[in-house]
Amino acid sequence: MALLKRALETLEKSQLKITERRVRMLEILYSEDRYLSAKEMKMHLKEDYPGISPDTIYRNLHSFSELTILEETEISGEKYFRANCSSNGHHHHFICSECGYTIELTECPIAYFKDQIGDAQVTSHRFEVFGLCTNCLD
């Protein structure tokens, strides 16, 4: 749980107050090996925090993402979030479009495109592969 500890340290250094709910959200995200939507997060929190609003959840997820505690993506027009899965920095993912299960990809394909972009300067990129994981194929 070194990554969770690092996330809590980042939260502590930020302007965001460390609350029980925020800690619980991070615990959930770091216990899952996949992207979660705000709706799924609400389902995880409903027993302990039945009155928590979807706006509060989304706002916290977005704040965590801005602090680089979380990674985010968009699947079918909906934002999904996952705990920053790597201490290696730059990486990419295979994401199951059914359950959100994620596999970290160790290779970066940007070099493949160098010939096609010529002397243009790449300032950022994101590469995600979507499909069905082996569990969802069954």
Domains of the chain by start residue, with CATH? 2-83 (1.10.10.10), 92-137 (3.30.1490.190)
pLDDT at 98: 87
pLDDT in tens, 93-112: 899 888 888 888 888 888 88
CA-to-CA dists, residue 60 to 15, 16, 39, 109, angstroms: 12, 9, 13, 32
pLDDT (0 to 100) of residue 85: 72
What's this model's pTM, rounded to 2 decimal places?
A: 0.78
pLDDT of residue 32: 87
Residue owning tokens 């995200």: 29
Q: Nearest 5 degrees, angle CA 128-CA 133-CA 136?
A: 135
pLDDT at 51 over 80: yes
Neighbour tally for 95: CB within 10 Å: 22
pLDDT at 50: 94
Q: How confident is the model at residue 66 (pLDDT cuts 50, 70, 90)?
A: very high
Read off the pLDDT of each residue in 43-60 and give the average, rounded to a whole number. 94
63-88: average pLDDT: 85
Distance separating alpha carbons of residues 35 and 28, to the nearest angstrom = 11
Question: What does pLDDT average to over the chain?
Answer: 89
The SS3 assignment for 32 reads coil
100 against 22, higher pLDDT: 22
pLDDT band at 138 (very low <50, low <70, confident <90, very high): confident
